[in-house]
């Protein structure tokens, strides 16, 4: 299965949001429409329970239902990956085993994140998960939430020994990403989480992207990936510039970016585009305000998405 996933893993894999009903439960009907919307936009995979998917905030029941739905909708046409963002190794393993039963194609696992984790502990974490669960693993490198950067040395060690088959880099460390792209073993799958740096990541040799903003407009990312791989660089530059402008949807009036606000923007965009019902977020995120919704609408209209 590892080889199979490797062969299929490339392109745009949205870290899809998790639609919730007004009472906070999983909204299956919205989710079905959402996953289909992405597939119709041409995405190359679905990634559930990343940060954009509010993974660490969801109940077990919601995670189960969402994954079951995504696997069913995807129907084997594209790989379905699940994020496992648990505070400790044993909890990652327990969750990963439950997920495996649902027929997913791979796991994207973050380091433990309650305690500060040393590089030695990061390595032991991935090895333990690898030993316990027979599914391809990718590293989720996201120090803004986990407090630890998976170092270049750690990443290469895990890659070379075959513990992991790839990584989603949401580290914000573009220099480290470029160095990893240069040093990684052949076949190691490298994805960026950075919307506005997709062209730069492809230039560096990345295999694709897992961009939160693909929840707002997956078609733009698919187009960018397609024209880039076709070598039409001038078109790629124009699409990238549209994406940079669309990124403003994540920025609050005071110029800062916060997770709850950004995920609220994604849900609002999908709501405004008629894909999902409501914009309910997990606690403790605040509900989307009318002002917030108006800002999202405005950016979508300026960007030609609405």
Based on CB atoms, which residue is closest to a second copy, 36 or 232? 232
Q: What is d(CA 229, CA 67) in angstroms, rounded to the nearest whole number?
A: 30
Based on CB atoms, which residue is closest to a second copy, 123 or 275? 123
Among the listed ranges 57-65, 100-108, 207-215, 290-298, the one in contact with a second copy (CB under 8 A) is: 57-65
Distance of CA 301 to the CA centre of its chain: 25
Distance of CA 291 to the CA centre of its chain: 27
How many CA atoms, within 13 angstroms, populate the side-chain half-sphere of residue 92?
31
Among 147, 219, 277, 305, contact with a second copy (rule: CB under 8 A):
147
Q: Does 238 bind a second copy (CB under 8 A)?
A: no
Among 2, 32, 41, 173, contact with a second copy (rule: CB under 8 A):
173
Q: How far, CA to CA in Å, does 283 sit from each of 59, 205, 260? A: 11, 38, 9
Based on CB atoms, which residue is closest to a second copy, 102 or 204? 204
Q: Does 117 bind a second copy (CB under 8 A)?
A: yes
Using the structure block, give the residue that is written with the tokens 């590293």. 139
Among 10, 102, 204, 305, contact with a second copy (rule: CB under 8 A):
204
Give the containing element (helix H, strand E) for 63: helix 60-74
Q: Does 179 bind a second copy (CB under 8 A)?
A: yes
Among 103, 116, 162, 301, contact with a second copy (rule: CB under 8 A):
116
Q: How far is the CB of 90 from a second copy (least distance, A)?
A: 6
Q: How far is the CB of 282 from a second copy (least distance, A)?
A: 6
Q: What is d(CA 116, CA 104) in angstroms, rounded to the nearest whole number?
A: 29
Among 6, 42, 102, 259, contact with a second copy (rule: CB under 8 A):
259
Pairing of strands 137-141, 166-169: parallel
| Cβ-proximal residues to 276 (8 Å cutoff; 6+ apart), any chain | 17, 19, 27, 30, 31, 33, 34, 267, 270
Pairing of strands 166-169, 106-109: unpaired
Residues that bind a second copy (CB under 8 A): 24, 51, 54, 56-59, 85-91, 94, 112-118, 120-122, 124-125, 128, 144-145, 147, 151-153, 172-175, 178-179, 182, 194, 196-197, 199-200, 203-204, 233, 237, 241, 244-245, 247, 255, 258-260, 282-286
């Amino acid at each position: 299965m590892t080889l199979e996933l490797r062969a299929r893993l490339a392109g745009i894999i949205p870290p899809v949001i998790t639609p919730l009903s007004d009472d906070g439960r999983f909204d299956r009907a919205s989710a079905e429409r959402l996953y289909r919307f992405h597939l119709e936009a041409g995405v190359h995979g679905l990634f559930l329970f990343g940060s954009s998917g509010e993974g660490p905030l969801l109940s077990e029941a919601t995670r189960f239902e969402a994954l079951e739905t995504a696997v069913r909708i995807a129907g084997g046409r594209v790989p379905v990956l699940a994020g496992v963002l648990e505070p400790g190794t044993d909890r990652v393993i327990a969750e990963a085993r439950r997920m495996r039963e649902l027929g997913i194609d791979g796991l994207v696992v973050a380091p433990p994140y309650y305690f500060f984790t040393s590089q030695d502990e990061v390595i032991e974490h991935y090895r333990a998960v690898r030993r316990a669960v027979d599914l391809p693993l990718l590293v989720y490198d996201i120090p803004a939430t986990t407090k630890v950067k998976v170092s270049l040395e750690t990443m290469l060690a895990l890659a070379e020994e075959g513990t992991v088959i790839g990584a989603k880099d949401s580290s914000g460390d573009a220099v480290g990403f470029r160095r990893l792209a240069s040093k990684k073993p052949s076949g190691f799958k490298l994805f960026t989480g950075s919307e506005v740096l997709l062209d730069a990541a492809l230039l560096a040799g990345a295999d694709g992207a897992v961009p939160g903003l693909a929840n707002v407009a997956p078609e733009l990312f698919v187009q960018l990936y397609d024209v880039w791989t076709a070598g039409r660089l001038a078109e790629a530059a124009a699409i990238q510039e549209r994406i940079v402008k669309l990124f403003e949807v994540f920025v609050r009036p005071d110029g800062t970016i916060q997770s709850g606000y950004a995920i609220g923007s994604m849900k609002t965009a999908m709501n405004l585009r008629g894909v999902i019902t409501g914009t309910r977020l997990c606690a403790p995120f605040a509900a989307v305000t009318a002002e917030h919704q108006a800002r999202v609408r405005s950016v979508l209209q300026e960007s030609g998405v609405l």
